[in-house]
Amino acid sequence: MIRFDNDYTEGAHPLILEALMKTNTEQLPGYGMDDYCKIAADHIKRHCDNENIDVHFMVGGTQANTTIISSILRPHQAVIAADSGHIAVHETGAIESTGHKVLELPNTQGKISAEQIESYVQNHWDDPTHEHIPQPKLVYISQPTESGTLYSKQEIKAIHDVCQARNLYFMIDGARLGYGMVSKTNDVSLNDLTNLCDVFYIGGTKVGAMFGEAIVISHETIKEDFRYIMKQRGGMLAKGRFLGLQFKVLFEEDLYFEISKHAVQMAELLLSAFKAKGIALKYESPTNQIFPILPEDKIKTLNEKYSFYTWEDAGDGNKVVRICTSWSTREEDIKAFIADL
């Protein structure tokens, strides 16, 4: 079975496995206080072209989201997100379990706009009963989105400006950030992210690491005592060097971007094939996630050899499926899929 259902089902990039084996018996300080974490953080600061950021390493995306969001919000406050956003639909109410409501806005191609956020916040404060309603205090978006689409720099800046004007925090979920950064349509740099949002994270789990996310904090208030909150939320890994070492390998040169580019190139092969065959797409994704609409009988036949995710019903016996490529996707598997299609 050839798997295209997720971009994290493989283990880790061979260079990471090699580094983990070479350092396996080293005895280093725990909880992220080792030299590998420091070196990895320095590499990320260099790639971000910003020495004033704090960098912390955690194991997974849901853990990062709950820790960041719960560290920012007071008990009566809530987070604004797209109704398709990961924290809204694919984290089993993790944010709500911390006592904070997710305020869902309708998405367009996986995205929400500055105008929607401005309108929602204005309506909240205009409501004479607003003290009875969760207060919007944080805006959450994903880059890329759950639909594989990208926010432009202009769109992110517009959200940033609303957040500044409305005294809101702004965070970006970068679980698949590498695949967005190398997209031909992307115009957002890591430095832009450090300047236009308060906190974001660089996903490793889905981009070559065995596990791990690198949290990047620009806002001084969020920086304060963040490691206390990491510990309280179970996010301070005793063997934290395994996180630092992986990000050191990914960022000491350009491996993170090289393997992301490979995944997007494999997705482009699929995208071209779908378009050539006249197969409609649910979303115009320029990243590593493709969402073709296929007949159910075709899906059943393809599933005999390939594994991919059925996303939603499209009516008339059709389904939207999600096909993910990754750093380890082989070109020969893509070509075989296209031939079978």
Q: What is the pLDDT of residues 241-274, one digit of tens each?
A: 999 999 999 999 999 999 999 999 999 999 999 9
User: What pLDDT, on a 0 to 100 scale, did the predictor assign at position 336?
Assistant: 95
Give the integer Cα–Cα distance in Å for 201 and 172. 7
Looking at CATH, the fold of the domain delimited by 14-251 is given as Aspartate Aminotransferase; domain 2 (3.40.640)
User: What pLDDT, on a 0 to 100 scale, did the predictor assign at position 318?
Assistant: 96
pLDDT band at 7; cut points 50, 70, 90: confident
Tell me if 14-251 shares its fold with 257-340.
Answer: no
pLDDT band at 24; cut points 50, 70, 90: very high
Give the integer Cα–Cα distance in Å for 266 and 259. 11
Give the integer Cα–Cα distance in Å for 332 and 250. 25
Query: Which homologous superfamily is 257-340 in?
Result: Aspartate Aminotransferase, domain 1 (3.90.1150.10)
Query: 56: which 2 tokens?
Result: 């912390």
Output the CA torsion 17→252→36→237 (10° steps). -60
Residue 9 has pLDDT above 90, yes or no: no
**Contact 243/33 with Cβ under 8 angstroms?**
no
Of all residues in the chain, the percent with pLDDT exceeding 90 is 96
User: What pLDDT, on a 0 to 100 scale, did the predictor assign at position 1?
Assistant: 82
**Contact 236/227 with Cβ under 8 angstroms?**
yes
Q: What is the pLDDT of residues 280-304, one digit of tens each?
A: 999 999 999 999 999 999 999 999 9
pLDDT band at 202; cut points 50, 70, 90: very high
Residue 72 has pLDDT above 90, yes or no: yes
Q: Quick check: bond before 14 cis, omega within 30? A: no
Residue 181 has pLDDT above 90, yes or no: yes
164: closest CA among 196, 194, 193? 196
Q: What are the distances in angstroms from CA 132 to CA 50, 211, 276, 316? A: 41, 40, 54, 44
247 three-class SS: helix
Give the integer Cα–Cα distance in Å for 77 and 208. 35
Per-domain residue ranges of the chain:
14-251, 257-340
Residue 326 has pLDDT above 90, yes or no: yes
State the angle between helix axes of 241-251 and 255-276 in degrees (0 to 180), rounded to the nearest 10: 70
